[in-house]
Structure 1
Amino acid sequence: MHFLHKPLPYLLFGVLFEYFTTLCSPLQVSPVSCGSKNISSYYGHCVTSQEGVRELVCFVPMGLSRNGWECVWTPRKHLVYQTHRYTLIIEQKMIHHCKMYANISGTSQTFNNLSKKRNMTAQVFDESDPKSCTKDVFRGSPQQLVRCGPPSNVDLNRHSRQLDIQASWRKEENKYIALYSVRYKDLKSQSWKEPPVQSKDSNRCSLGNLNSSLSYVVQIQCVANNKCTQCPWSKNFTVPPELTDKPVIEMVEDFPQTKGSRLVIIKWKFAASELAEGYSVTVGKASGEDPIEAFNTSRTLLRLALSHSAYHLTITAFNKAGNSPAAQRTIPPLDDKDLYGRLNVTFNGNTSFTVSWVDDLIKTYSCFSVEWWRRGEKAAHKSFYEDENNYEVIHLEEPLELYKKYTFTLHTRPHKEPCNLKFINNSESTYGSIQSFFTEGSPISAPGNISSSNVSQSSMVLEWTAVPEEDNRGFLLGYFLHYTERLQDWTDTEPNITVDAGSTSYELVDLQSSTVYRVQLSAFTGAGMGVRSSAAYFETKPEASLTVGGVIAGAIVGVTLLLLVVHLGSQLLKRAKKLLWPNIPNPGNSNAIQKIDGVCDLELLELINRQMLKEEEGDSNSLHIVNGREEMSPVGNLHRNADSCLHLNTDHGESQGPSLSTIATDRAQDPTSDTITSIPTDMRQTDPVLISTVAHQCHPLAFLSDYTTMELFQQAMPHCVPTNTSSSLESQDQSSQISQARSVKPGQS
């Protein structure tokens, strides 16, 4: 090369000029002819090193002109200098072709005018470090240097511990690529897993047995063939962890709006929200009418303006690795009561019907859609354009079925023709809805599970379960309740009661006690009455029936009340006694009374009285007073003796002789009498009147009450003699206790 023989100052000046020129504007590299000998002498000191420039490769991209060649390389590992200067030399020795591209700042260089029939040699030199020069060499045949790749588009999807890969190349490359390989490693690993995995075809490849919670790095290359001789590895594709959980739909709420629209609020949550980049929500009509619209959002809340139709909802979380399992929900049609329009349906046979409306809708809308379905089945739909009439005839592909209930709904759309649905959100509103039967029939089953409750002597409540809707075969209008006494036969005049369709219970009244009734039920529609249920029998209660439980409960309540009354009464009596009758000491409990060993005998008292009272025979004007103390009975007998005195006087009211009262009267009449004659002895023995007289002269203490003081009581009480004493002792005691009577004269004390 001629520039190699220039003086060193010129060479340094040229390098500095090129350096500053590069800083100001991009450097345009032009090829320069060179000689093999000069290259060896000037770059002979440059060596091949793993630390220097390396991985030089030259190729022609598939689809480009075979004259458009390119060489690429990898710079040294440790970048010390801010700028690098590379020199690329291309040689074909057989035809003495040598081109040099100096001062290359990048890591690639394109060139042309290369012969396809001769092998070529490419060398790249790195002189960035003045102390060392590194190089790399590439040799090959131009016919085998066609490169395919790397892929232009890659889709990654993780699921079930598996990674699905779909790779595609440019159109001119794709037709020559039959298979490709994939190598992968854990994001934190330094080495690739070997061997690489080969695809099943030109597009799909799967990696299995992955750890769902780990991130991976993936590279892809095509499998080389005679058309694609070079298949480089692609750049790194980082695959985040797998989304194994599905979103959980927490809320789907409807908020009716005006003119047949509703606001639907959808809310969900996702457990691995930190791994998700966003959420995809797809919404489509349950009738299957296109389109199915997708909404991507980073939030877990979505608001949609929808019609009253039914919709299918799907929610998935996504990241670079793919999508999570989908959460699905069906948004049911909104209740018809919220619709503002009145819709009519007329059947033109079983293959067509006419839908009509009341309001003049064609002034506002010209595109409509009608949906019809049976319960539990997918809805059919038909959109149409109408600008003249307020009705439309719909022809059916499948005939309508007998005794089946259909729901018809009319939607209005603001868009012009064509009237197909343009999008889901805020695209249509619902005008009205109606349910109808093509042909009604009578129910084919009867109410079931007939039972009774609240049974009394004259009434009972009957309950039953409704007829299944599919067995009604028409609009249910109510129930017929048939009942009669068990022993009577069914007649045309049996009592039938009509019950509303919305009720499943009825109270029978005015029944007879202790009577068994037979009950049957049947449902009816506009087509007539259905079948009757099986007979059920129920008996009313007798007139005076008391249950064992009621008797026991009544007895318990009665005993409880009685005990309560007794307890409260005793307490009240005690309080009243303390207030009204205070306690008085009982003399019978005193020590004096306890010393009395016996009771005084009434016969002894009679003997003493006979001796004390001596009345002179025939002399009724004198009174003898006995000087001494009379024998008295104990205190315990005072009341008894007082009563005895009274009874004795009554029994002998007609006795002869002077009584004590007579003697007292005579003395009052003759106060000058100074002598009282003693009572004769024979009168004590024979005259019973004396006993009466003595009885009337009972001692005053005999009438004393318990309030008598103890002193007077002891003075009045003599020592009583037991009744079982012998007759000798009795006479001796009587004679010793009789005192001599003394005469009492007037004026003597």
Structure 2
Amino acid sequence: MSGGGERSGEAETKHCWLGTYMHVVVVGLMLVLDAPVFTNVHVSAEKCKPKNISAKYQHCGIHPDGVHNLDCFRKSKKDEKCTWEPGVHGSKSYTFILQQVDKAHCVAYYNLTKPNQKLRIFDYNFTVEVIESSAGEANCTKAVFSGSKKTLKRSCGPPSKVLPTRTPGALQVNVTWLKEDGNNRISVRYRALGSRSWNETVESQLPNAAMVEKLTPSLVYVVQIQCVTTAECSQCPWSENYYVPSELTTQPIIVSTKYADIMQKTGCRLISITWKFPVKDLYDGYRVTVWKESGEPPQEQLTTSEPEIRLILSYSAYRLNISAYNNASVSPAATHVIPQHSFGDGRLNATVHNSTAFTIHWRADRVRKYVCYVVEWMKKGHSGWYQSFFEDTEASKTVSSLSEHLEPYTRYRVTLHLRPNKNTCNMKHINNSESTYGSTEFYHTEGSPVSAPANVSFHNVTLNSATLQWSHIPEEDLRGFLLGYIIYYTEHHYREASTAHNVTVDPGSTSFHLEALKSGTAYQVQICGFTSEGEGIRSNPSVFKTDQKVNFSIRGAIAAFVVVASLLAFGSPVIKRAKAILWPRLPNPGHSNAVRKIESPGQLILEMEAAVPPQTLSSMLPHVRTCEDDTLEMAHAWSEGDGDSAADDDTADTLLDTQRTHFQSSPFTFAGGYTTMEMFQQLTPQWVAEGGSNIKGEPEDLTVLKSVRLDYVRQFSTSPPSDSEFTSTLL
């Protein structure tokens, strides 16, 4: 029983799940089938009865915030339509009702999403109602238009395409109309972005274009356009708003340019140019226009969003214009000229026949690979001329019937370029379209130079040489191929003839080292260039002078060397001996007997007291003590010194300067050399002869010793007194 019950339960469960699943599937199919009903809204046209349709929407009123500006017009004979503007809160779902009571015609269009509808009317009066429902039929607004087919105005516009272009301080507006509208004059109204009021309307004088002036370059403007009403266009609605960005008034700034030869492609170079734009967020990109200086078309215009460009070009001369742009303005262009690159390796030669024809020659191996060529020729400072041609047999080309005759004495450069195309030799585009084969130069008629080298100067002038420098002759003054320079130099003597010399140097030189000149001689120099037609004008005379020769004797040099060597070897002893003779050295007081006796002061005091009477000695003491304090130490230094040093001489000079005034009046000034105890005997001979006893003096009498030693020193600092002076001193 239990087993059967379990199986019965499982069966019921499966049946339940199956029923649920089938129910879901059925509901899903219903939703799928019904989906078009809810998601796809079809515009349908139904016939209606005027009374019934009017009663159905009679509750919908005309409101400013509802649907408005309903207008019906004729675009062509069989093209009538109505347009309107939606309400503020509308659902953008409209019902369009057309009634012609006289014809008993009523048609209703439901579920319109666009604010326009074509008309299909008869030649009777008609009424159009547009119903806009916000939330069902209960909440709706309407707009009404009445007219007739005969009186229906013809409407032109708005234009199908508008192209505003800003120029300095102005705006150029160009429009395109639909075919049925034809070409019409236009009216333009504008206002600055953010402003609510429109400026005055500007009408054009010519069809399809108008010019608005006196605009501020930095402002963004809003523009609307309509046609000017005429008999054929009696109704002209305004177009939608067109936004015109501010004017681009600054040009890009070129930052760097690089030219690099491409090793894998002979005669081609990689051109890399980078720039910057000062104003950000006002441009959409850059336009780069490239063309050849020779004037050969085309002018290729490239656009880029990055401020850089790379081109593969030949060695010809090119010109680039770089501008920033937006949808209404183009900035002033930054111009860069890529100069022509000379490629003269002798592979190209030119032969001039006359003023209107010349022939170029190249290697024959090129003919087997290339058949399209272009030859360019130009003179310095001019754009030049070109001629493209096809050649598959001869390695030469004669260019004749020149539009401008070749000028005499003028240098021309001719260049040959190779083009890989074989179907046409005209250049289709600029980038990576040709390579340069070679170039050369020619003159139709040559002449001699009409100017001389300038800036003649001299450097590194020596006894017999000098370096001469000058500047090249300008190319336009050469009038031919320069073959070299001739330097004329002569000795410059006043009213005397001298031999002229000349030397020829290479045409590429601007300096020359003159040698084998005479020393101390003035030279006059002139320089001129020369071509195959002869010498040109000489430069103004320039004068320089070589250095003077200095007489130099070998014997005199040897004698001077011997004298100097002798002075160095024997000069020191001789100088010392002369000094000893002419300026004798002062005696050293340390070797004096008096000083030796003074070194025992007690003995000296006793001797002086015995030799000099007391009254005389006492009269002398004031004189002795006068210079006692300021000279005692220096005198003591002498007594201890060793007389060979230079300090002894300096000390004696110092004493001479400082104590001269005291020496003349001192009673102890003597005329002798070394002073001993005998001077005391000379001063007081009578007392020495009688003898005397040793008298013990007071301690302060020691100043007598100091005075004696000082006077001993002072006698060498003064000139010796005469005998009369000495006698008067004793008396």
TM-score, length-normalised on structure 1?
0.68
Secondary structure of 2:159 counterpart: coil
2:716 aligned partner: none
Write out aligned runs for 1:29-178 (5 A): 29-35=44-50, 37-62=51-76, 66-79=77-90, 84=93, 86-93=94-101, 95-108=102-115, 110-115=117-122, 118-129=124-135, 130-142=137-149, 143-175=151-183, 177=184
1:482 aligned partner: 488
Are the aligned partners of 2:48 and 2:108 in contact in 1 as well (CA < 8 Å)? no
Taking the aligned partners of 2:521 and 2:437, their CA distance within structure 1 comes to 57
Are the aligned partners of 1:479 and 1:521 in contact in 2 as well (CA < 8 Å)? yes
Taking the aligned partners of 1:412 and 1:591, their CA distance within structure 2 comes to 122
Secondary structure of 2:249 counterpart: coil
Structure 2 unaligned regions, length at least 5: 1-33, 552-567, 573-587, 608-637, 640-674, 693-731
Write out aligned runs for 1:222-301 (5 A): 222-257=227-262, 258-301=265-308
Taking the aligned partners of 2:676 and 2:439, their CA distance within structure 1 comes to 124
Work out which of the residue numbers 387, 410, 414 in structure 2 matches 1:408: 414
Taking the aligned partners of 1:521 and 1:170, their CA distance within structure 2 comes to 79
Secondary structure of 1:228 counterpart: coil
1:499-548 superposed Cα distances (whole Å, 9 cap, x missing partner) = 22222222333333333222211111122111222222223343359xxx
**Quick one: which amino acid aligns to residue 67 of structure 1?**
K
Are the aligned partners of 1:354 and 1:394 in contact in 2 as well (CA < 8 Å)? yes
2:403 aligned partner: 397
Are the aligned partners of 2:154 and 2:234 in contact in 1 as well (CA < 8 Å)? yes
Write out aligned runs for 1:210-609 (5 A): 210-257=215-262, 258-336=265-343, 342-395=347-400, 396-487=402-493, 494-544=500-550, 586=590, 592-593=597-598
Taking the aligned partners of 2:597 and 2:496, their CA distance within structure 1 comes to 99
Deviates more, 1:518-527 or 1:309-318: 518-527
Are the aligned partners of 1:385 and 1:417 in contact in 2 as well (CA < 8 Å)? no
**Quick one: which amino acid aligns to residue 153 of structure 2?**
L
Are the aligned partners of 2:74 and 2:152 in contact in 1 as well (CA < 8 Å)? no
Structure 1 residue 460, shift from structure 2 partner: 2.9
Are the aligned partners of 1:144 and 1:229 in contact in 2 as well (CA < 8 Å)? no
Structure 1 residue 384, shift from structure 2 partner: 0.4
C-alpha distance 585-414 of structure 1, shift in aligned 2 (>3 A): farther
Structure 1 residue 49, shift from structure 2 partner: 0.5
CA RMSD of aligned residues (A): 3.4
Taking the aligned partners of 1:141 and 1:593, their CA distance within structure 2 comes to 164
Are the aligned partners of 1:159 and 1:244 in contact in 2 as well (CA < 8 Å)? no
Structure 1 residue 375, shift from structure 2 partner: 0.6
Are the aligned partners of 2:471 and 2:510 in contact in 1 as well (CA < 8 Å)? yes
Instruction: Say which one has the larger Rg.
Output: 1
**Quick one: which amino acid aligns to residue 298 of structure 1?**
S
**Quick one: which amino acid aligns to residue 148 of structure 1?**
C
Are the aligned partners of 1:484 and 1:490 in contact in 2 as well (CA < 8 Å)? no
Secondary structure of 1:388 counterpart: coil
**Quick one: which amino acid aligns to residue 88 of structure 2?**
K
**Quick one: which amino acid aligns to residue 68 of structure 1?**
D
**Quick one: which amino acid aligns to residue 473 of structure 1?**
R
Deviates more, 1:250-259 or 1:210-219: 210-219
Are the aligned partners of 2:159 and 2:178 in contact in 1 as well (CA < 8 Å)? yes
Structure 1 residue 20, shift from structure 2 partner: 7.8
1:711 aligned partner: none
Taking the aligned partners of 1:428 and 1:120, their CA distance within structure 2 comes to 71
**Quick one: which amino acid aligns to residue 81 of structure 2?**
E
Are the aligned partners of 1:150 and 1:222 in contact in 2 as well (CA < 8 Å)? yes
Structure 1 residue 288, shift from structure 2 partner: 0.8
Taking the aligned partners of 1:69 and 1:163, their CA distance within structure 2 comes to 34
C-alpha distance 593-267 of structure 1, shift in aligned 2 (>3 A): same
Structure 1 residue 97, shift from structure 2 partner: 4.9
Taking the aligned partners of 2:258 and 2:142, their CA distance within structure 1 comes to 71
C-alpha distance 731-195 of structure 1, shift in aligned 2 (>3 A): closer
C-alpha distance 156-491 of structure 1, shift in aligned 2 (>3 A): farther
**Quick one: which amino acid aligns to residue 678 of structure 2?**
C
Structure 1 residue 131, shift from structure 2 partner: 3.2
Taking the aligned partners of 1:458 and 1:390, their CA distance within structure 2 comes to 57
C-alpha distance 355-593 of structure 1, shift in aligned 2 (>3 A): same
C-alpha distance 144-227 of structure 1, shift in aligned 2 (>3 A): farther
Taking the aligned partners of 2:691 and 2:243, their CA distance within structure 1 comes to 147
Taking the aligned partners of 1:492 and 1:310, their CA distance within structure 2 comes to 54
Structure 1 residue 223, shift from structure 2 partner: 1.2
Are the aligned partners of 1:92 and 1:120 in contact in 2 as well (CA < 8 Å)? yes
**Quick one: which amino acid aligns to residue 58 of structure 1?**
C
**Quick one: which amino acid aligns to residue 59 of structure 1?**
F
Structure 1 residue 137, shift from structure 2 partner: 1.4
Structure 1 residue 108, shift from structure 2 partner: 4.1
Structure 1 residue 274, shift from structure 2 partner: 1.9
**Quick one: which amino acid aligns to residue 63 of structure 2?**
S
**Quick one: which amino acid aligns to residue 85 of structure 2?**
T
Taking the aligned partners of 2:117 and 2:256, their CA distance within structure 1 comes to 61
Are the aligned partners of 2:225 and 2:238 in contact in 1 as well (CA < 8 Å)? yes
Secondary structure of 2:367 counterpart: helix
Aligned length: 552
Taking the aligned partners of 2:326 and 2:367, their CA distance within structure 1 comes to 47
Write out aligned runs for 1:717-728 (5 A): 719-720=677-678, 722=680, 724=682
**Quick one: which amino acid aligns to residue 334 of structure 1?**
H
1:675-701 superposed Cα distances (whole Å, 9 cap, x missing partner) = xxxxxxxxxxxxxxxxxxxxxxxxxxx
1:608-667 superposed Cα distances (whole Å, 9 cap, x missing partner) = xxxxxxxxxxxxxxxxxxxxxxxxxxx99xxxxxxxxxxxxxxxxxxxxxxxxxxxxxxx
Taking the aligned partners of 1:204 and 1:283, their CA distance within structure 2 comes to 30
1:181 aligned partner: 187
**Quick one: which amino acid aligns to residue 359 of structure 2?**
T
Are the aligned partners of 1:310 and 1:332 in contact in 2 as well (CA < 8 Å)? yes
1:214-262 superposed Cα distances (whole Å, 9 cap, x missing partner) = 3222211111111112211112212222222211111221111132111
C-alpha distance 296-721 of structure 1, shift in aligned 2 (>3 A): closer
Secondary structure of 1:411 counterpart: strand
Taking the aligned partners of 1:727 and 1:28, their CA distance within structure 2 comes to 172
Taking the aligned partners of 1:590 and 1:155, their CA distance within structure 2 comes to 130
Secondary structure of 2:45 counterpart: coil
Write out aligned runs for 1:679-690 (5 A): none
Identity of aligned residues (%): 39
1:95-132 superposed Cα distances (whole Å, 9 cap, x missing partner) = 4353222323223454454245x454322223444433
